[in-house]
Structure 1
Amino acid sequence: MAIDLCNKSPDLVTERGPGSWAEAVPSEPALLDDLGTEQRDALNFAYRTTLSNVDPRFVAGDPAAWASDFGYALDRVAIRLDNRSNGELREQALRHPDPVMREQALYEYADRDHADAIELLEEAARTDTNRELRWDALWAIEKLGGATAVTTLQKFLTDDDPEIAEWAKLFISELQTGDPAFDGRPGLYTPGRTFDETIYLLIHCDLYVRLDESNTHWGKISLAPQGLARIYGQAHACPNVSTRERQLVIAKTISGLHKDGSPHCDNYLFRGFTDRTRRDRGNFFFESLVPRTFFKSGRADDPSQGVRQANIGFARYGTWHLEPKFQVREEAAIRYVRGRFQGWGHVNLSRIAGRPLEEVLTPGNGVLSTLHDPEVGPMTNAFILGTFKGKLNDWDGDGVIDLNSRNVYSTAEGEIDSDQDGIPDKAGQTCCDYTNLLP
């Protein structure tokens, strides 16, 4: 999240010289009188939407409306728990053998807001062999924003990988208009699967860790998408057309946690409200409350320090955009989703103190938590918030966008379904049972 705050103040924009918007905007602006009625309505709506993105300290009155963001307050005082030097970060961003660690170095460097951050991200996006790192690097460029970001992203519009090119197109459009744009590839819906769509999510978050009981010392870890997926699991948003406006499942899998090589499944059923006053999108606020085994060790499936059954809550809110060309059950499919999320966690400081980051970013080495339990509440020491984006992709390289081809191990109600037949392995079970894995 803090990367999104970089380069946003007027002082920084003036000092940095963000480049010419004339170079970033390819065509001459149209006159207002030349626009049709619908175009004018869309322009007025975009203008009202843009007002919500302006730094409200320069336009708002009551500070309660703009100065109450807990994450923003923590970011101003938290110390970095990643103590690598800038030189180490640049070196590891390009040469570390593990793509997750390369990406983590990129995001940490961008979060530090160095003048050459976009240059480093561009080099990684151009030269790295890991596909996900490349599009995650483009996302970090968008987060830094400005005309320089647009002109950099434009270099990837003709990339050999259609997904990289489309992500670049999407990010450019968001920076210039606030809305995403896509290419013209067709889509494929596979009948007979549990979910109408399985949308692969990119998630970037900051963990703010309370370091002592005085509430005066805070630490910060900025997790890049692949690093977050390694610890907490790769997430898919799984909507069905008939219920998507009031519920959906976020299905997560952690790789490398189970000794037998099977994925660790961790599903969350979210419910909430969606605003459908526009035909082409839905604005939503959803919450989840699920029963979980809380591991006091701070590591998933590690009961060595005891366990506790608790209800874990999480919130996500944002906007999904429809694609009329992709039809599912006579409705337009969701082509893209973006938003924010927040929740609570437990970080075992003794497990990470003094250890290299490679030993910290390991499968399951962090657990979600709650403040509303007499045992778990006092152990809750991390505030988690961030942003997510998810786009339908062509996963098999056949030139066709796949709507619901991803394997997710969940029923429509969030229960574990290891064979994906729509029937739960065990009624009511939404997370892998660690007792089945004990020796």
Structure 2
Amino acid sequence: MAIDLCNKSPESVGNPGPQSSLPVEAPPLESLRDEQRDALNFAYRTTLSMDPRFVAGDPAAWCSDFGYALNRAAVRVDNRTDEELQHDALHHPDPVMREQAVFEYADRDLPDAFELLTEVIRHEKHREVRWDTLWAMEKLGGPHAIAALRRFATDSDPEIAEWSRLFASELTTGDPAFDGRSGVFTEGRTFDETIYLLIHCDLYVRLDDTNRHWGKISLGPLGLARIYGQAHACPNVATREKQLLMAKSISGLHTDGSPHMDNYLFRGFTERSRRDRGNFFFESQVPRTFFKSGRADDPSMGTHETRIGFARYGTWHLDPNLKVRGEDAIRYVRGRFQGWGYTNVAGVAGKSLEEILRPGNGILSTMHDPEVRDLTNVFILGTFKGKLNDWDGDGRIDLNSRDVYSTVDGEIDSNQDGIADEPGRTCCDYRAVGI
């Protein structure tokens, strides 16, 4: 999130839209000479060090941003050198760690970040690391990002090609751009769409009771999915403007091989003044077992039943070429989220990043429960993006083929038959699975 929040001019973050886009009459970046492009990029980069208090008007618009304040105060949990990050981004055997090196390097905003990210996209074999790296490139922004993204617009992988065009379009017009592929709708599924989410966040960890010392890790989408679970946004056309189901599952947490299922039903408002999109603000409140060990499904230090809240807000974009139940399908969604978490600082102290980024090694929390709030020590702030993809390689977009283990009300549905395994249960029972 700090890549977006702290490395951008206040105008573009606080009020994105046509006024922050490149002028329509501007010549294509590809037509500029190298020295012209470098000059344009330098002009862009010089705006990044502005103190927004001098340009944003009312200080409440920026000085009150908790994430902005924490980013200026926090020290990095990832203490690898820049050279180690470069090596790991290209050569680490674990794709999660390769991606984590990419996002950490981008978050440091180093002068050669575009060169490293471009090399990763060119040589990486894991397609999700590739498209996540494209997103990290977009986050850096500026003319160099647009030019670099466009290099992959004709990639042999159609998803990489579409992501690159989508991100470049966002930087130049503020809106995504889609290709013209047709879609496939799977009958008999609980949800009309199952949108695979990329989530990038900054975790700010309070390190002591003085509130003076904070740690920070910029967590990439695969790393977040490994710890907290891979998320899918699951709308139904009839209800998508007032509620949304977000289904998460963690792989590798249960010793019996079953996924850890964790569902969140969000409700709120959607603004529909434009036919092709919806701007939304949704909140979720769900019952959860809080594990005082700081690790999901680990009751070794005691548990407590509580309720966890989370907020997400953003925009979904419709594609008139894809239809669901007679309506345009949501092709793309983007937005921000924030919430609270808990990590056992003593339990992770002195451990390597590989040891920290383990399934379930971090849990969500709340400030509203007296038994939990004093343990709460993580502020979670991030962005998400999700796009319908072709998952089976048949050249058509899969609208709702992804496996999600939830009823329409967020109850666990392990066999995906639309009926709750246990009425009212929205997270799998740690007492009934192998851990």
Q: Is the shorter-chain TM-score for this pair beyond 0.5, marking a shared fold?
A: yes
Equivalent residue, structure 1, for 2:247: 251
Tell me the alpha carbon deviations over residues 168-205 of structure 1, each in whole angstroms, 9 at most, x when there is no partner: 00000000000000111111111211000000000000
Equivalent of 1:24 in 20, 26, 29: 29
Query: Which residue identity lines up with residue 271 of structure 2 in the other structure?
Result: D
Aligned in 2, Cα 1:395/1:438: closer, same or farther, shift over 3 Å?
A: closer
> Matched residues in 2 for 1:202 and 1:163: separation?
14
Asked if structure 1 preserves the Cα contact closer than 8 Å seen for 2:159 and 2:390, the reply is yes
Deviations 1:44-73 (A, max 9, x none): xxxxxxxxxx99645542211232110011
Instruction: Determine the structure 2 residue equivalent to 1:169.
Output: 165
Structure 2 residue aligned with 1:344, among 333, 340, 344? 340
Distance 1:336 1:9, change over 3 A: closer
2:275 aligned with 1:279, yes or no?
yes
Contact between 1:104 and 1:223, CA under 8 Å: does it hold in 2? yes
For residues 387-416 of structure 1, the C-alpha deviation after alignment (integer angstroms, 9 at most, x for no partner) is 000000000000000000000000000000
Per-residue deviation, 1:427: 0.2
- The alignment yields a C-alpha RMSD, in angstroms, of 1.7
Task: Give unpaired runs (5+ residues) of structure 2.
Answer: 11-25, 33-49
Q: Cα deviations across residues 287-333 of structure 1 (Å, max 9, x unaligned)?
A: 00000000000000000000000000000000000011111111111
CA–CA distance in structure 2, aligned partners of residues 380 and 429 of structure 1 = 24
Residue 354 of structure 1 aligns to a residue whose secondary structure is coil
* Counterpart for residue 4 of structure 1: 4
Output the CA distance in 2 between the equivalents of 1:174 and 1:26.
20
Q: For 1:388, what is the secondary structure of its paired residue?
A: strand
Are the aligned partners of 1:268 and 1:430 in contact in 2 as well (CA < 8 Å)?
yes
| Distance in structure 2 (CA, Å) of the matches to 1:369 and 1:346 | 6
Contact 1:274–1:283 (CA under 8 A) maintained in structure 2? yes
Say yes or no: does 1:331 pair with 2:318.
no
Amino acid at match of 2:120: A
Specify the code of the residue in structure 2 equivalent to 1:169: R
Which whole-Å CA distance do the structure 2 matches of 1:151 and 1:412 have between them?
Answer: 42
User: d(CA) in 2 for partners of 1:295 and 1:9?
Assistant: 40
SS of equivalent to 2:245? strand
SS of residue in 2 equivalent to 1:430: coil
Structure-to-structure mapping, 1:47-62, within 5 angstroms: 57=53, 59-62=55-58
Equivalent residue for 2:380, pick from 384, 389, 396: 384
2:6–2:68 CA contact under 8 A, matched in 1: no
Gaps of 5+ in 1: 11-20, 28-53
The structure-2 alpha-carbon separation of the partners of 1:406 and 1:246, relative to structure 1 and needing over 3 Å to count, comes to same
Distance 1:424 1:255 in 2: 21
Is the aligned partner of 1:420 residue 2:394?
Answer: no
Query: What CA distance in whole angstroms lies between the structure 1 residues aligned with 2:433 and 2:405?
Result: 18
1:297 and 2:302 equivalent? no
Shift of 1:5: 3.6
Following the alignment from structure 2 to structure 1, what is the Cα–Cα distance between the partners of residues 77 and 423? 41
* Equivalent-residue separation in structure 1 for 2:109 and 2:173 (angstroms): 24
State the match for 2:116 in structure 1. Answer: 120
Contact 1:338 1:388 in 2 (8 A): yes
Written as runs of structure 1 = structure 2, the 5 A alignment for 1:37-76 is: 57=53, 59-76=55-72
Provide the rounded CA distance (Å) in 2 between the counterparts of 1:87 and 1:289.
43
Match of residue 82, structure 2, among 57, 81, 86: 86
- Select the residue among 298, 310, 315 that pairs with 1:319: 315
Q: Which residue in the other structure is 1:42 paired with?
A: none
User: Contact 1:202 / 1:225 at 8 angstroms: preserved in 2?
Assistant: yes
> Stretches of 4+ moved more than 2 A in 1?
5-10, 21-27, 54-61
Alignment size in residue pairs:
404
Alignment of 1:155-304 (within 5 A): 155-304=151-300
Distance across 1 between alignment mates of 2:122 and 2:178: 21
Residue 24 of structure 1 deviates from its aligned partner by: 2.4
Residue matched to 2:106: 110
Q: What is residue 13 of structure 1 aligned with on the other side?
A: none
Does 1:401 pair with 2:397?
Answer: yes
Report if the CA contact (8 A) 1:6-1:144 is conserved: no
Q: 1:435 aligns with which of 414, 431, 435?
A: 431
**Local SS of the residue matching 1:293:** strand
**Offset of residue 340 of structure 1:** 0.1
Equivalent residue of 1:122, what SS?
helix
- Residue matched to 1:48: none
Instruction: Specify the alignment match of 2:38 in structure 1.
Output: none
Matched letter for residue 434 of structure 1: Y
- C-alpha contact 2:166 2:177 (8 A) present in aligned 1: yes
Q: Secondary structure at the match of 2:73?
A: coil
Q: TM-score, normalised by structure 1?
A: 0.89
Match of 2:47 in 1: none
Determine if contact 1:6/1:111 at 8 Å carries over to the other structure.
no
Does the Cα contact within 8 Å between 1:344 and 1:380 map onto a contact in 2?
Answer: yes
Q: Secondary structure at the match of 1:83?
A: coil
Q: Distance between the aligned counterparts of 1:89 and 1:245, measured in 2?
A: 42
